[in-house]
Amino acid sequence: MNISANCLAALAARLAGLEREMAEAASNPRAFRELIQVHARVKKAAALAGDIARLHQDIRAHRGLLAAEPPDPDLAPLAREELAQAEAALAEAERTLRLDLYPPSPNDERNAILEIRAGTGGDEAALFAGDLARMYTRYAERLGWKAEFIDASPAELGGYKEVIIAIQGVRVHRALQFEGGTHRVQRIPVTEASGRIHTSTATVAVLPEADEMDAIEIKPEDLRQDVISETCAVGSYIQEARESQVTLFI
């Protein structure tokens, strides 16, 4: 992946345009937040593109030194070492840039709600659910995220029958979205007296946290109003027709 000067100029222009849009959208919190997220992605891509361009220049320079006739006995070993380092760095930078260029999910930047429930395995499944809860909270701490227990149903012998954890931080849902599903463990549990291996399961659900600014907008064209006339007979008397207005969402 060779990055041209035109590509770097286009990314710089895009960053400048986003900064102008952010200044104009300062009074609109929702639009401003979305622009900040786009700006962060473009800024990272621009930095990676600049690194790739510089690494290509370094590689060409090192290869030129090695191709010189006669080769410099002092510079050739150093050039080989730096060439290997530059090629490894180039491969990593290109891999990262390709991943970052994939279209982002609208939920990537959101916080996440983890719901962990004990599955098959009785008390051992509850212990396993507790292990998963500790694993995710410690992982969150290592990345500088905030983990908060919203609700928990502790089991008698330890662990949880069910636990719900809110995790807040940078790109939390993007990192945890594939953790959802059934997790299985095979081990000799502390509840086993005869030393037999048990298989237990726990389920994990990863949900994007609802945005406080996400308002439900009902458009007038999505409403239908029907006026229904109703006549009721009670004994020998006929009540007057009543009109009731019903609003339906369609």
Element (H, E) at 36: helix 29-67
- Residue 106 domain-assigned (yes or no): no
In a domain, 214, yes or no: no
pLDDT per residue rounded down to tens, the chain (250 residues): 666 777 778 888 888 899 899 888 888 887 888 888 788 888 888 888 889 889 999 999 989 888 888 777 888 888 889 999 999 999 998 888 887 777 777 788 789 999 999 999 888 999 999 999 999 999 999 999 999 999 999 998 899 999 999 999 888 998 899 999 999 999 987 777 777 888 999 999 999 987 665 556 677 777 777 776 554 444 444 444 444 444 444 3
Q: Which two tokens stand for residue 177?
A: 């979205």
Closest listed residue to residue 60, CA positions, set 47, 41, 79: 79
Residue 239 lies in a domain: yes
Residues 119 and 192 in one domain: yes
Of 48, 23, 49, whose CA–CA distance to 36 is shortest? 23
Q: Peptide bond before 106: cis, by omega within 30 degrees of 0?
A: no
Residue 245 lies in a domain: yes
117 located within any domain: yes
Looking at the 3D structure of the chain, how many domains does it have?
3
Q: Tell which of 59, 76, 100 closes a domain.
A: 100
Q: Is residue 213 part of a domain?
A: no
Same domain, 201 and 121: yes
User: How far is residue 28's CA from residue 36's CA, in Å, rounded to a whole number?
Assistant: 12
Contact present, 105 and 208 (Cβ < 8 Å): no
Contact present, 114 and 98 (Cβ < 8 Å): no
Contact 131, 102 (CB under 8 A): no
The single residue listed with the structure tokens 């060439």 is 83
Handedness of CA 178, 180, 183, 189 (dihedral sign): positive
For residue 105, being part of any structural domain is answered with no
Residue 49's contacts (CB-CB under 8 Å, 6 or more residues apart) are 3, 7, 8, 11, 97
Please tell me whether residues 60 and 146 are part of one structural domain. Answer: no
**What is the domain range of residue 72?**
5-100
22 within domain boundaries: yes
Q: What is the pLDDT of residue 212?
A: 61
Q: What single-letter amino acid sits at 149?
A: F
Residues 226 and 205: beta-carbon distance below 8 Å: no
Backbone angles phi, psi at 229, to 5 degrees: -95, 135
pTM: 0.56
Q: Parallel, antiparallel, or unpaired for β 233-234 and 223-230?
A: unpaired
Whether residue 138 is found in the same domain as residue 86:
no
Starting at the edge strand found earlier in the chain, the sheet holding 146-154 runs 146-154, 160-168, 112-118, 198-208, 181-187
What is the CATH classification number for the domain harbouring 122?
3.30.70.1660
